[in-house]
Structure 1
Amino acid sequence: MSGVAEKARFFLERSVPQLREWEQKELFSKDEIRTIVKKRNDHEHRVLSPGNRASDWASYATWEQSLESLRTKRCKRMKIRHLNSAHAGQGRVLSIYDRGVNRHPTSSALWREYLAYTTNVKAAKRYRRTMTNALRMLPNDVQLWIMAGRRAAKNGDMASARSFFMRGCRFCTKDGSLWIEYARCEMEWLEKVDKRKSKPGTIDPLRPDKTTGDDNELVIDDSEDEDEDDGTVLPEPSANQAEVIDKQTAKQLQNNPALDGAIPIAIFDISRKQPFFTPDTAEEFYIMLASFHTVSVQPRIAQHVLDTLETEYPKHPATCSCRIRQPILNVDPMTAEFPRQLREVLSRLKSQIELTEDQAALKRKTIAWIDEYLALEQLDEAIQKVLGHTKNKLESS
């Protein structure tokens, strides 16, 4: 343990200037500083000891964040506007996460915590480097690819977002969630374009979103770390993985503005060739697409998915469930239109239960979405009674 003690002392000594300044500014008392040192020492010994876990590093970083939050509140209360170590706390948290992911490179949860923190403190360069390293270590992690694609889309860079999603889809061929999120991202983009087109005087509805950009974000001064530009690049798919989306299709997805909804349709069509694709996956696509009722081309895209289900799986519970729910998917349950459409749903329910090849599965699907409506607090009492009666009838039959 002598090696652990020496390493712990090394990392603790780096925080001495910060602690001395806190004492001089009377932000913390001597007893509080002793407690801080003891807690840090305990955490350092825990994370440096053999057999440490990713959760130990996460706990250490969380404790440091709470300490930094307390320091910020006291500075505000005492009207202390300048500290030489103002960013030392954030730099320390970043260092802990960096050490943690180096020790546990396969911990997806720790990587995501690290990325979330860099986003919160607007450490843009660190975020880019960390995301690249995370994807290199965990190229099959769906959530990481979704985070990367969504951040790019949020910043108005749809070209980069599509690049992330397409690269991720080549790796993640055993799970349909990334493909569905890719289509969702494209639908959100179409929704933004429709809003721009509706504004008078709009010249180019396809222009990139206005954003502050990463270059204007705060970059934490953590000069003790290695240079940000370490030459790391995103993982490259193998030859077989690259064939998931061929070059011609990739070029079309990347460059085609596709205001007619061609990109979401192409994503769905390519996903049909993947090992994960099932009728339930198509149902998830359909439900997601149906939620974008304000997008002008949404009916065409959703109908394409439904037509596929009708053609290839006419009696599957997923297909029958889509048929049943179709009238109310685009209707606000708080409007007067909902009860009228609900009557159509209930009439379809009986016929589809008789038609489906698996009545039990269809009943489970129906009960699941009924529960979602019953969970709404402001739902009309009469509608609640009807849905509750329908649910009880399905459960008892």
Structure 2
Amino acid sequence: MSDKARFYLEQSVPELQDLEKKGLFTKKEVKMIMRRWTEFEHRIMSRGSTPDDYLYYVRFEKNLEKLRKLRYQRMRSVIDTKKSISDYSASKRIRFIFDRGVRKFPNSMELWAQYLKYAKKNGSVKVVYKVYTRLLQLQPRNVNVWLSAAKYEYDYNKNVKSARNLLVRCLRFNGDELFPWLEFIKFELNYLSKLLIRRKLLNLITEKQQKDDLNEHEHSTNKDSLAQGVDVVQVSEGSEIEKDLSDLTDLNASTLGTVENNPVLRGDLILTMYDACLEALTNKLHDNINEGRYEVKFTKVWEISNKVIDIVDQFDALDRSHINGHIISDLMGKYPEIDKVVLLELTVPIRYTDVDDGDFATSLKSSVKMYQSWVSRTKASDTVKTSVKKMYINYLTQRYLSKCTGEQKELLELLLRKLQ
């Protein structure tokens, strides 16, 4: 047996003595526990050990602690219930096993995931912060870890500011990937949507009411926030991605007021993020668009825009027309003669309108007028015009015609014939 293994086992002797003294385990059972501990220590200390060996060790410890608690509850009327070492040592020992495991196998995400799961369920917030901090220091390019940390801050600690700062920091390391940008945008949309729904349901009109609500549901300041705990995770100053993120410094802006008088509540911060995302991911790409031919930059811009638009579509509590209208207008300004961009622009008035809505006819009329106006003033080629016409008619047919009945269907069929 190695000196380290012997040392670790010796540290556990007082706990076993306490379990036997309280009558929770017999002398024979205590010997069996020590024998199993010895086997596990030999296994994890060997050169051929794996992350699974540590997980098996932890599983044994959890089952042992579960058994101790069951016996304690069943025998509490006849044993000494005064708190002692055996009441506290199990969680400490399990964390110690995890600590040793992630030190030996720092790239084992299964070990880290199980460690975090255990810490969240049984440990203090500080323990969770410690684990996240170590993991982020080792794997700052792991987007899922940043997202997990931000989710913990938002869902468990109600610390929106810290969650947001973690996401910004994630982008400093991973801003050349689309996924973290989309997740950040989704986070902001989700937060804003929940905020507006809560205010509507509770009829929170005055700023005082809104402040009280924020104090109840959010912890905007927290000295022990996870975002502060990872200050050691930094990128070099003056990096290109740092410049791209400079516009995100005001993300913690006030959300007081109404949609009418506060641009933040309309989604302007989301638009700032979208613009920064577009700049970060496309600033080195170049356009080379010929008739019917799309090159690298447009392809990337189109991918980003459509994915953001699809995300925004899911949040009907927000002013989706305002947010997506900005994105589509930006696309139209850059690529006014590409058919699928034009189609997006023409369908803005009816994007969130169904045939059963009272304003369907008005919205459809507005869309058709936009189409007719585009046809009369566009400098696009005949090929593009023909393509837009076909796409627009197909859009109206597939989305609305099958849902219409009676007079409404006859009018729509008449309109489609006129457009052809």
Do both proteins adopt the same fold according to a TM-score greater than 0.5, normalized to the shorter chain? yes
Distance of 2:245 and 2:219 partners within structure 1: 33
Equivalent-residue separation in structure 2 for 1:152 and 1:175 (angstroms): 23
Change (3 A) 1:139 1:24: same
Change (3 A) 1:213 1:281: closer
More helix by share: 2
Contact 1:112 / 1:144 at 8 angstroms: preserved in 2? no
Within 5 Å, which residues of 2 pair with 1:185-264?
185-198=187-200, 199-200=202-203, 203-205=208-210, 207-210=214-217, 233-239=231-237, 241=239, 243-246=241-244, 248-255=246-253, 257=255, 258-264=264-270
1:159 counterpart letter in structure 2: K
Rounded Cα–Cα distance in structure 2 between residues aligned with 1:302 and 1:252: 21
The amino acid that maps onto 1:57 is Y
State the TM-score, normalizing by the size of structure 2: 0.63
Say which is worse superposed, 305-314 or 161-170, in terms of deviation: 305-314
Q: 1:238 to 1:7 in 2, by over 3 A?
A: same
Aligned residue among 261, 265, 275 for 2:271: 265
SS of residue in 2 equivalent to 1:238: coil
Q: Work out the number of aligned pairs and report it.
A: 317
Judging changes above 3 Å, is the alpha-carbon distance between structure 1 residues 299 and 39 closer, same or farther for their aligned structure 2 residues?
farther
1:88-113: per-residue Cα shift (whole Å, max 9, x none)? 11111111111222222233332232
Question: 2:61 & 2:239 partners in 1: Cα distance?
Answer: 41
After TM superposition, the structure 1 = structure 2 runs for residues 283-298 of structure 1, keeping only pairs within 5 Å, are: 283-294=306-317, 296-298=318-320
**Do the aligned residues in 1 keep the contact of 2:51 with 2:101 (CA within 8 Å)?**
yes
- Tell me the SS of whatever aligns to 1:273: helix
Aligned position for 1:97? 98
Unpaired stretches in structure 2, ≥5 consecutive residues: 256-263, 283-299, 358-386, 393-420
The within-5 A match list for 1:172-183 is 172-183=174-185
How far 1:171 moved relative to its partner? Answer: 0.3
**CA–CA distance in structure 1, aligned partners of residues 126 and 254 of structure 2:** 30
Offset at 1:185?
A: 1.8
TM-score by length of structure 1 reads 0.67
Post-superposition offset of 1:164:
0.7
Q: How has the CA–CA distance of structure 1 residues 266 and 71 changed in structure 2, closer, same or farther, with 3 Å as cutoff?
A: farther
1:221-268 CA-to-partner distances (Å, cap 9, x unmatched) read: xxxxxxxxxx97331112364634556413222335422212222222
1:22-63 Cα distance to aligned partner (Å, 9 max, x none): 223332333433332222222212221124333332332233
Is the CA contact (8 Å cut-off) linking 2:173 and 2:235 kept in structure 1?
A: yes
Give the one of 31, 34, 38 matched to 1:37: 34
Runs of 4 or more consecutive aligned structure 1 residues displaced over 6 Å after TM superposition: 211-215, 309-313
Over the residues paired in the alignment, what is the CA RMSD in angstroms?
3.9
Pick the structure with greater CA Rg. Answer: 2
| Offset from partner CA, 1:186-211 (integer Å, 9 cap, x none) | 12221232134221356242524446
1:124/1:214 contact within 8 Å kept: no
The answer to which of 156-165 and 99-108 deviates more is: 99-108
Of the structure 1 ranges 303-312 and 233-242, higher mean CA displacement relative to structure 2 is found in 303-312
Q: Equivalent residue of 1:239, what SS? A: coil
